[in-house]
Amino acid sequence: MTDRKVVITGLGLATALGLELEQNWQKALAGVSGVSKIRLQCAGKSRVQAAAQVCENDYRSICRDFPSEAQSGGERRTLFALWAAKKALSDAGFTPCGEDRSRFGVALGAGLGVNRLEDIARWLTSGKKFDPARFASELDLVERDSIIRNNSSAPATLIASKFVLKGANFTITSACASATLALGAAYRAVKRGQADVFLAGGADSMINPVGLVFFVLLGSAAVSRMDPERLCRPFDRKRSGLVMGEGAGMAVLEEEHHALARGARIYAEVAGFASTMDAWRLTAPHPEGRGAKECMSLALADSKIAPEGIDYINAHGTSTKLNDLAETIAIKKVFENCTSYPAVSSSKSLIGHLLAGSGGPEFAFTALSVAQNRIHPTINLSSPDPKCDLDYVPDVSRQRVVRAALSNSFGFGGQNATIVVKKYFAGPGAR
């Protein structure tokens, strides 16, 4: 790699907390929960009763902003990605018809899309077998937001087309680590000189019957009928599983001199990245946090920051029994020789688990923590698990110097990704 610095110049969000960056950040600092009673037809019979959904007024605002995409596809994940991309580019100061964008790339972590039972049941024969011939002849009857019409790469392709981003374009679909893997790949491309600007992050929405039942069958979804706002409780003794969220988070990663030359505001610097694989079990992390520990250690080595230089970790923090404990163990191993452990908090307690898109908003919150020296809380941590005994910033935000921070994403299958963000200081030759 060269010595090119990669800085963050724009951020864009669409979550259950709102559509504006500052709105999301202020609610996160205030410990506002975006989780509410699920809004789906026949949801009363569902074991899953809560989710962090983008509110209907906000969703209609997105559809008004992208009318042709809403009309032709109507796929929520794609519309969230378009909104967050537009906001991130605007936040970075890029105008709709500006500079040459041949070295502007797109890297997106995206989920699989919407699986609809209707798209199977409609073409079953009386013997309950799928009729491929009739399906092929009646393809236009497939629901417009179905995975059959919208593959994983659709959002990244549309973003590039809509905002004329002519550089590298790729999609990563690797469970809950997808968005952080996309951010890491974008960081490396800019650092190596393969691009000057990358729009990177993630988007997902699996709040549909098939998406929800998948996590129920895995035994990882919270199915309690307690108050929805209190249901997602990472690191708490009474945690009962993940709470689904939806939305998108995008960031503009830019080469330092490119950003300075156009007078861009810089939030922070991306300093390092790493990815590992547990190679343990498909649906459970290694109980000793081996993959997660190695991932954080490698990211620190890549950043050339010693463990004692990290003040905050935006945890994967899913509110599941296995993940929260494994992540806690891994953090302790990485920072065992420090005089104290970093502060840790989970964005998922506020906005739910965006699955493939989760690393996007969490990266944005991490960058804001570094830029503003403020850490949002982990809410609903009222009965601490004695085995999860780190400083999780319970319920109340904290003001403290954040020199550098980690953002963790640890996905199903054992896929791990960690990205390092640090304060930006202009180097030699910077204008």
Residues with catalytic roles: 176, 316, 353
The token duo for 132 is: 């491929």
Which of 29, 61, 14 is CA-nearest to residue 354?
Answer: 14
Instruction: Read off φ and ψ for residue 64, nearest 5 degrees.
Output: -65, -30
**Contact predicate 75/154, CB 8 Å:** yes
DSSP, res 245: B
Q: How many helices (H) and strands (E) does the chain have?
A: 14, 14
CA 39 to chain centre: 22
Instruction: Read off φ and ψ for residue 272, nearest 5 degrees.
Output: -175, 165
Q: Which residues pair with 353 in a beta bridge?
A: 244
262-298: b or e for each residue (b if 16 or more CB lie within 10 Å)? eebebbbbbbbbbbbebeeeeebbbeebbbbbbbbbb
**Contact predicate 421/268, CB 8 Å:** yes
Q: Which amino acid is at 6?
A: V
Question: In 224-284, which ranges are continuous DSSP H helix?
Answer: 256-261
The 10 Å Cβ neighbour count of residue 157 is: 15
Element (H, E) at 365: helix 359-372
Q: Which amino acid is at 120?
A: I
Q: Which residues make Cβ contacts (< 8 Å) with residue 278, sequence separation at least 6? A: 285, 286, 290, 291, 292, 413, 414, 415, 416
DSSP, res 184: H
**Across the chain, which distance is largest between two alpha carbons, in Å?**
74
CA 105 to chain centre: 18
**Contact predicate 119/211, CB 8 Å:** no
Q: How crowded is the C-beta side of 280, counted as CA atoms within 13 Å?
A: 20
- The angle that helices 154-163 and 76-91 make with each other, rounded to 10 degrees, is 40
